[in-house]
Amino acid sequence: MAKRTAIKVSNLTHTVTANTGDLTILKGINLEIKEGESVAIVGSSGSGKSTLLGLLAGLDVNTSGEIVLYGQAFSSLDEEKRAIIRGEYVGFIFQSFHLLPSLQAIENVMLPAELKGDEGARKKAEQLLDKVGLSHRLTHYPNQLSGGEQQRVAIARAFASSPKILFADEPTGNLDEANGKIIIKQLFELNKSQGTTLIMVTHDNELAKKCDRHMVMSEGSLVEK
């Protein structure tokens, strides 16, 4: 059976206003990603990778063109509806983890399920933290965890809402090699076991090669390798 299209991007352009005038960051990007695929987007700093990632996840609205996520055109939706779609389909992993400092590890992981009003939030969070090897760190606060541990909590949080697409922005960018490897391993394992589509922005070519597809972003254009 042919796989469903998770994301379809047609002629996507994004322009921002800078001090020096308008700046076009993304220039007519076309892209189709199937369900379950893992896609790596590499490129130099400032090439527009993170902006593309944000637009694909519906964090911002593109200037022109169309992004369709599981059949729903993001561009025509307001923030309210985009947030609903994010809650339903999307998970995130950030370079700087973005755990909430006032919440314990377990509470950070419970957050997406709690937002949906899921009664079993705690149990699910415990299981996920167990899967990333942090069952002994449940009640620790982010500042009591190492960078690698924080990113593992973030992975657990990303999977807590059982997302269909996982967006990862330089997930190993702030980690040493050893920790980076553990993170990648756990990320791909979870991705596989849950059948999630993975779209990842990275500088790391080794990491990019682990993905099904490998794209390069350069000066606002995207080229598949």
Partner 1 sequence: MVNFAFKLMLRDLRSGDILMLLMALIISVSTVTTISLFIDRLQLSFEQESANLLAADRLIRSDEAIPKNWQFKARELSLKQARRTSFGTMIFSGDALQLSQLSAVTDSYPLKGAYLVDDTLFARGQPSKQPPKKGEVWLSSRLASLLNVRIGEKVEVGELQLTVAKYLVRDPGSSSSAFAISPRAVMNIRDLPSTKVIIPGSRVRYSLLLAGEPVDLENFESWVVPELKEGQRWRTPVEKGERIGDTIVKAESFLLLAGILAVVMSGIAMALASTRFVKRHLVQVAVLKTLGATPKVLIKVFSIQFVILFFTGALLGLAVGWGGQGVISSLLSGLMSTSLPEPSVGRLWLGTITGLVSMVAFCLPMMLRLIKISPMSVLHPSRKLEKNSLALYSMGFIGIYGLMCIYTKGFLLPSIMTLAMLAIGILVSIVGWMVFKLGRSLTSGATSGWQIGFASLYRRLLPNLFQLLVFTLIIMLGLVLVGVKSSIVTEWQEQLPVDAPNHYLFNVQKDQIEQINASTENLRVLRSDWYPMVRGRVISVNGKSIQTLYPEGKGEPELYERELNLTWSHSLGKGNKLLSGDFSADGLSIEQRVAKAANLSLGDTLTLNIGGNIVSLPITSVRSVDWSSMQPNFYLILPKRVLDGYSANFVSSLFISNENAQPFYKSMSQHPTVSILNVGDILKQIQTVIEQLSEAIQLVLLCILIAGALVLIASVRATLEERLEEGALLRVLGAKKALVQQSLVVEFGALGLFSGLIAAAGAEACVYALQVFIFKSQASWHPLLWALGPLIGISIITAIGLFASRIVLKVPPMHLLRDF
201-218 residues labelled b (16+ CB within 10 A) or e (exposed): bbebeebbebbebbbbbe
Residue closer to partner 1, measured from CB, 53 or 217? 53
Please identify, among the stretches 63-71, 92-100, 175-183, 190-198, the one whose residues bind partner 1 according to the rule CB under 8 A. 92-100
CB 16 within 8 A of CB 208: no
* x/- letters, 139..158, toward partner 1 (CB under 8 A): ----x-------------x-
| 167's tokens | 């967006």
> CB of residue 2 vs partner 1: minimum separation in angstroms?
29
> CB of residue 80 vs partner 1: minimum separation in angstroms?
5
Please name the amino acid found at residue 43. Answer: G
H-type alpha helices, the chain: 49-56, 79-89, 105-115, 121-131, 147-160, 177-194, 205-209
CB 172 within 8 A of CB 205: no
Residue closer to partner 1, measured from CB, 96 or 225? 96
> DSSP letter string over 6-38?
EEEEEEEEEEEEETTEEEEEEEEEEEEEETT-E
Please identify, among the stretches 67-75, 78-86, 188-196, 212-220, the one whose residues bind partner 1 according to the rule CB under 8 A. 78-86
Cα distance from N-terminal residue to C-terminal residue, the chain: 26
Options 9, 31, 37, 86; binder of partner 1; rule CB under 8 A: 86
| 96's tokens | 């700087």
* x/- letters, 105..124, toward partner 1 (CB under 8 A): --x---xx-xxxx-------
Residue closer to partner 1, measured from CB, 90 or 207? 90
| Backbone phi and psi for residue 59, each to the nearest 5 degrees, phi listed first | -80, -20
> CB of residue 197 vs partner 1: minimum separation in angstroms?
16
Binding site for partner 1 (CB under 8 A): 50-51, 53-54, 57, 59-60, 79-80, 83-84, 86-88, 90, 92, 94, 96, 98, 100-104, 107, 111-112, 114-117, 143, 157, 161, 169
